[in-house]
């Protein structure tokens, strides 16, 4: 813990914000962590900036919960997976070019090649633009990549890193730009592989290009070919003229100039209309992502951070809310001097917790109370005949708060000899919080201790 607190700059600012966000979500779902040792150390350092305290606490708690190791696995997968994904994109593009061109023994439909190499890339680009206009992310490849990284974390506390990652990026409006960057990068490399494969095959083999259609007349192809050929003119590459386009409804096997013109037309169209938009997409997404990432910070307006910042600033090391100091005075009520019977009452236990407890023979069952008002009937009945022994049973895996403390006190005041039994104490990360609860009566972590208490009493 000391290393995590004293060396917070070994990780990037983004990673520390990511860790803090993951812990915020975890604590919102499962309750506050037992962080009193961390808070005590932070108090000794004398740092009073809430954001710095939150990040240092996150580093220490992340190390204790092994979340820093999960972050390292995530980054390792990125470093290993990114080159493999890039290689896959390049190879897939090159293989697609080879499959569409064939071995040169048969004429190649020029528009089939153009659509085969650039059709899907252009369609997904249009879908991405539509998603950005609607403020939604439509990058399937980007989400697939994040899902693979999330699966690498496994279950347990490490799974909260994936949620924290997505929440942090979404709050900073970074997620759609990162997903877009992943998608554009993959398509850019895929198209680069396709163009390289195309250039290589056109350099070592002779291909004959034609156009053909059962439904469309020749004028349609001439009308379509000329505006697309403007790309070849801009890049100073050869392109077919009107006569060559009209003659290409059949295979002109020995017309080398015609085939070179079609090759230049195809390369220019793919480069300018398909490859270049993806390059622009990569640049735009990267710039937006970097600019917004620099603006990321702790948002103290969020409920989890607001409460935590208050606790850190006030150095509240107990289980109480920061706005209610532990030293606050309360009215106390005299407990009955004598009573009869042994009562067993559960408070806020889980639905799957066995009840009544085993080995509880001879105890009167007060049931499991879910809310404080449910205890009104018990308290009313105890006014005439209070319990001699009252054993209150709680789940140590839950987090005690002011409300539960007052509830325990009201029940304890109705019995001559109250006590508290904590279930699952040996597996609870919040046991220290229960041990600091303002409870002046006996407290047990095993049923055998409670049984011995009643016998000795």
Q: Could you write out the DSSP letters of every residue in 377-431?
A: HHHHHHHHS--SEEEEEEETTSPP-HHHHHHHHHHHTTSSEEEEEEETGGG-TTH
Distance CA 23, CA 17 (A): 10
Query: Are residue 169 and residue 92 in the same domain, yes or no?
Result: yes
What pLDDT sits at residue 118?
94
As beta bridge partners, residue 419 has: 391
**Residue 25 falls inside a structural domain:** no
Spatial CB neighbours of 263, under 8 Å, sequence gap ≥ 6: 202, 207, 209, 238
Task: Return the pLDDT at 201.
Answer: 94
Say if strands 342-347 and 108-109 run parallel, antiparallel, or are unpaired.
Answer: unpaired
Based on the fold, state whether residues 276 and 352 are members of the same structural domain: no
pLDDT at 192: 97
92 assigned to some structural domain: yes
pLDDT at position 148 is 77
Q: Is residue 67 included in any domain, yes or no? A: no
Residues 357 and 287 in one domain: no
* 451 falls within a domain: yes
Tokens 């396709």 correspond to 194
Q: Are residues 133 and 266 in the same domain?
A: yes
User: Helix or strand or coil: residue 326?
Assistant: coil
pLDDT of 324: 42
Q: Are residues 274 and 348 in the same domain?
A: no
What pLDDT was estimated at residue 77? 85
The answer to whether residue 113 is domain-embedded is: yes
Pairing of strands 443-444, 389-395: unpaired
Structural domain tally of the chain? Answer: 2
Beta-carbon neighbour count of residue 429 at 10 Å?
A: 16
Is 117 within 8 Å of 45 (Cβ atoms)? no
CA distance 125 to 274: 9
| 211, 92: one domain | yes
CA nearest neighbour of 84 among 11, 148, 20, 10: 148
Last residue of a domain, one of 232, 266, 294: 294
* Domain boundary, last residue among 276, 294, 312: 294
165-196 burial by CB neighbour count: b if 16+ within 10 A, else e? bbbbbeebebbbbbbbbbbbbbbbbbbbbbbe
Domain boundary residue among 237, 262, 294? Answer: 294
Q: Do 237 and 119 lie in a common domain?
A: yes
- Identify whether residues 286 and 352 lie together within a single domain: no
Q: Is the CA virtual torsion 186, 188, 189, 193 positive or negative? A: positive
Helix axes 140-153 and 67-101, enclosed angle (nearest 10): 140
Residues 186 and 91 in one domain: yes
CA distance 134 to 407: 50
Residue 164 shares a structural domain with residue 288: yes
pLDDT of residue 322: 38
Q: Identify the domain containing residue 241 by its residue range.
A: 80-294
**Does the residue 326 lie in any domain?**
no
Q: Which two tokens stand for residue 278?
A: 């993806």
Q: What is the pLDDT of residue 451?
A: 80
354 found inside a domain: yes
Task: Measure the CA–CA gap between 201 and 207, rounded to whole angstroms.
Answer: 9
pLDDT at 320: 41
Whole-prediction pTM: 0.65
pLDDT averages per 10-residue partition of the chain, 457 residues = 49 88 83 74 70 87 85 86 93 95 87 93 91 74 76 69 87 88 95 96 89 76 80 79 73 75 90 95 95 88 75 51 40 52 88 76 83 78 85 88 82 90 86 84 87 75
CATH number at residue 392: 3.40.50
254 with 390, same domain: the answer is no
| 273, 356: one domain | no
Instruction: Please check whether residue 14 lies inside any domain of the structure.
Output: no
**DSSP string for 230-287:** HHHHHTT-----HHHHHHTTS--TT-HHHHHHHHHHHHHHHIIIIIHHHHHHHHHHHH
Decide: 179 and 168 in contact? Cβ < 8 Å. Answer: no
């Amino acid at each position: 813990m000391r290393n995590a607190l004293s060396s917070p700059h070994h990780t990037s600012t983004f990673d520390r914000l990511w860790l803090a966000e993951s812990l915020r979500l975890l604590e919102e779902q499962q309750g506050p962590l037992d962080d009193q040792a961390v808070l005590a150390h932070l108090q000794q350092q004398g740092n009073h900036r809430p954001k710095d305290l939150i990040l240092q606490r996150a580093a220490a708690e992340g190390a204790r919960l092994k979340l820093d190791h999960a972050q390292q696995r995530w980054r390792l997968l990125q470093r290993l997976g990114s080159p493999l994904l890039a290689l896959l994109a390049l190879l897939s593009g090159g293989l697609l070019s080879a499959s569409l061109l064939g071995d040169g023994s048969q004429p190649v439909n020029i528009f089939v090649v153009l659509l085969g190499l650039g059709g899907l890339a252009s369609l997904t680009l249009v879908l991405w633009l539509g998603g950005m206009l609607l403020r939604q992310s439509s990058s399937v490849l980007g989400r697939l990549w994040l899902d693979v990284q999330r699966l690498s974390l496994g279950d347990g506390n490490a799974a909260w890193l994936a949620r924290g990652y997505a929440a942090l990026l979404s709050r900073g409006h970074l997620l759609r730009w990162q997903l877009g960057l992943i998608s554009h990068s993959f398509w850019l490399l895929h198209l680069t592989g396709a163009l390289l494969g195309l250039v290589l095959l056109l350099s070592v083999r002779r291909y004959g290009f034609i156009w053909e259609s059962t439904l469309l007349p020749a004028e349609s192809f001439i009308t379509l070919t000329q505006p697309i050929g403007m790309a070849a003119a801009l890049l100073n590459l050869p392109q077919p003229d009107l006569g060559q386009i009209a003659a290409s409804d059949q295979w002109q096997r020995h017309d080398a100039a015609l085939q070179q013109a079609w090759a230049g037309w195809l390369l220019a169209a793919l480069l300018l209309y398909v490859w270049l938009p993806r390059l622009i997409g990569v640049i735009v997404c990267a710039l937006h992502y970097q600019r917004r990432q620099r603006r990321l910070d702790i948002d103290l307006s969020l409920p989890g951070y607001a409460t935590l910042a208050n606790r850190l600033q006030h150095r509240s090391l107990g289980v109480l809310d920061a706005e209610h100091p532990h030293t606050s005075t309360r009215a106390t009520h005299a407990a009955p001097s004598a009573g009869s019977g042994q009562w067993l009452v559960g408070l806020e236990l889980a639905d799957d917790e066995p009840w009544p407890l085993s080995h509880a023979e001879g105890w009167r069952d007060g049931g499991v109370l879910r809310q404080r008002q449910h205890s009104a009937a018990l308290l009313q009945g105890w006014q005439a005949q209070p319990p001699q022994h009252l054993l209150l049973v709680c789940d140590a895996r839950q987090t005690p708060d002011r409300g539960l403390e007052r509830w325990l006190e009201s029940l304890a005041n109705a019995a001559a000899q109250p006590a508290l039994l904590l279930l699952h104490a040996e597996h609870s990360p919040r046991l220290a919080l229960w041990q600091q609860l303002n409870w002046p009566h006996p407290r047990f972590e095993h049923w055998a201790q409670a049984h011995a208490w009643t016998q000795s009493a």
